[in-house]
């Protein structure tokens, strides 16, 4: 499972959201629509989020130091978690607050066709960004469902941008429908309902992202199929009697730590056991290139159980 993806998706989403934010603020100035304002703030939050994801990718490339001896790969997990907090605090909470205010104190929507035109333009831009995220994510998704992909992905940027773009697209649809209903019925409360709906949707997405990125930040093991491949590579090695114990953890999207206790066949000299360990490591890396840090401990099964 390669982990180098995500940059194209992030950059596409950043350009799209920056362009959309300008259009939405222009639309708000013309129409005074709270749904339009909530969407504009949402796009600003999304733009800053993509910038944070790019910052995380850049910082994760720093070389290991005496204090960070396993590298800085978890920077990407951390900044993805920050993005979920930004999406909730700025995008969701603001939209909910603005929606409640507009429901309590509705204001007439001006220049309806300007509002609808800007929203349609934003939908096209957001749909393009979402399509890019879907296309790149499919490479890693395989035959799994989208829900499973979000839970299984060890590349934080793809689920984050995918859900952000989905939320933005649905928010635009909510805003478009509610602005149209508000003008048709003459009841501008619908504008506030649309804004509130956007806020609730963003809050749910932010919650899902916070849960998933927190799990990555704390530490997640290899995927089941990766674990099986590594175990098979070890047990099929010529000098291995059995695999006693194995543990794995992602230190970053591109770095998998593998630690195992192995019982080797026969009796080896110091150089012999070193060669056997090297051979097992080579077998592991052949089936799982992300296993960049491997610790193998020769042991005996009887000693472990006494």
Query: What domains are defined for the chain?
Result: 7-218 (1.20.1510.10), 224-304 (3.30.70.1350)
Task: Cite the DSSP H helix spans in 32-111.
Answer: 34-60, 75-86, 93-104
| CB crowding 84-93: b at 16 or more within 10 Å, else e | bebbbebbbe
**Token match 């059995």: residue?**
242
Report how far residue 135's alpha carbon sits from residue 161's, in angstroms, rounded to the nearest whole number.
12
Q: What is the pLDDT confidence band of residue 2, given thresholds at 50, 70 and 90?
A: very low
DSSP 55: H
Strand duo 255-264 + 293-298: pairing = parallel
| 204's tokens | 């749910």
- CB proximity list for 132: less than 8 A, separation 6 or greater: 8, 9, 12, 13
According to the model, what pLDDT value does residue 5 have? 55
Q: What is the pLDDT confidence band of residue 1, given thresholds at 50, 70 and 90?
A: very low
Sign of CA dihedral 253, 42, 208, 137: negative
- Lowest-pLDDT choice from 10-14, 35-39, 212-216: 35-39
- Write the Ramachandran bin of 264: left for phi over 0, alpha for psi from -120 to 50, otherwise beta: beta
According to the model, what pLDDT value does residue 248 have? 97
What value, to the nearest 5°, has the Cα angle with vertex 226 and ends 284 and 150?
Answer: 145
Q: What is the pLDDT confidence band of residue 306, given thresholds at 50, 70 and 90?
A: very low
| pLDDT tens digits for range 86-135 | 877 777 888 888 788 888 887 776 777 887 888 898 889 889 889 988 98
Q: What is the pLDDT confidence band of residue 304, given thresholds at 50, 70 and 90?
A: very low
3-state SS assignment for residue 252:
strand
Query: Is pLDDT above 60 for 215?
Result: yes
């Amino acid at each position: 499972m390669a982990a180098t993806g995500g940059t194209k998706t992030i950059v596409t989403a950043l350009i799209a959201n920056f362009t959309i934010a300008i259009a939405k603020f222009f639309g708000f100035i013309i129409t005074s629509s709270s749904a339009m304002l909530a969407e504009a703030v949402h796009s600003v939050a999304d733009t800053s989020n993509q910038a944070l994801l790019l910052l995380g990718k850049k910082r994760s490339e720093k070389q290991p130091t005496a204090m960070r001896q396993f590298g800085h790969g978890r920077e990407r997990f951390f900044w993805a978690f920050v993005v979920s907090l930004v999406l909730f605090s700025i995008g969701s909470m603001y939209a909910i607050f603005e929606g409640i205010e507009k429901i309590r104190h509705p204001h007439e929507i001006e220049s309806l066709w300007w509002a609808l035109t800007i929203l349609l333009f934003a939908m096209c831009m957001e749909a393009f960004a979402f399509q890019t995220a879907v296309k790149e994510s499919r490479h890693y998704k395989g035959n799994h469902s989208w829900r499973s992909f979000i839970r299984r992905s060890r590349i934080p940027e793809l689920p984050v941008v995918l859900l952000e773009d989905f939320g933005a697209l649905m928010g635009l649809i909510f805003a478009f429908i509610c602005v149209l209903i508000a003008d048709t019925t003459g009841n501008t409360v619908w504008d506030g309902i649309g804004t509130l709906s956007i806020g609730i949707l963003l809050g749910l997405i932010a919650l899902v992202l916070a849960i998933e990125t927190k799990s990555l930040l704390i530490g997640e093991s290899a995927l089941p199929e990766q674990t099986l491949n590594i175990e098979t590579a070890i047990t099929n090695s010529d000098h291995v009697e059995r695999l006693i114990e194995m543990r794995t953890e992602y230190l970053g999207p591109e770095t998998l730590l593998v630690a195992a206790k192995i019982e080797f066949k026969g009796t080896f000299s110091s150089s012999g056991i070193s060669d056997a360990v090297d051979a097992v490591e080579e077998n592991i890396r052949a089936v799982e290139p992300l296993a960049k840090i491997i610790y193998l401990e020769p042991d005996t099964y009887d000693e472990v159980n006494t």
